[in-house]
Structure 1
């Protein structure tokens, strides 16, 4: 899964370290901003997508969403804040993962 320095990651872990429930919360949250196609399958927004990182459900949010749809962006950030979820800057994620890859981790 490609994470960009222009992304934010809402991680399914609270700031106190507890796993967020239900287990499909990321798909539900991303789906709230998606659309259903003629095939009855959800098509996620290009700005919001559910992912699993390190075995934890997450939602990747492009910072571009703040310009394209400020209300949707605030909805997502409010969800993270209200549920005490960890939000990781994509630039930090990319830098950290790049260092781990270089170290063979």
Structure 2
């Protein structure tokens, strides 16, 4: 269950039984499908970059997609699509807030 307190949901490329999810580019594919859902809506060429609300990444060697709750506010059907993808494929989901990198030391 996803609460309203966290700013992001991390969909992890690990199934509920601990196995890596395949295909290996699943995160990029999912984020690519979600590229039109962005602040201001889709614009010409927006399919060439990921939405800031649905970003693929790797954390601790595990492929993930970070989904911002603003996606739900913008388009609940897009949010449901992403959450149902995770549920239907038995992927682990964690709520969190992505912290910015610390400033470089001088």
Scaled to the shorter chain, the TM-score interval is 0.7 to 0.9
Q: Is 1:62 matched up with 2:63? A: no
Residue 85 of structure 2 is aligned with which of 79, 88, 94?
Answer: 79
Aligned residues: 87
TM-score of the two chains, using structure 2 as the length reference:
0.75
Instruction: Give the helix-richer structure, 1 or 2.
Output: 1
What is the CA deviation profile of residues 17-53 of structure 1, one whole-angstrom value per residue up to 9, with x for unaligned ones? 0100000000000000115728xx7211111000001
CA distance in 2, matches of 1:42, 1:26: 15
RMSD (Å), alpha carbons: 2.0
- In 1, the alpha carbon distance for the partners of 2:45 and 2:49 equals 7
- String of CA shifts for 1:44-90, please: whole Å, max 9, x gaps: 11110000011111000001111111011000000000000000111
Structure 1 residues without counterparts, runs of 5 or longer: 95-105
Q: Which residue of 2 aligns with 1:52?
A: 58
Q: Which runs of 4+ in 1 moved over 2 A?
A: 35-38
- Alignment correspondent of 1:37: 45
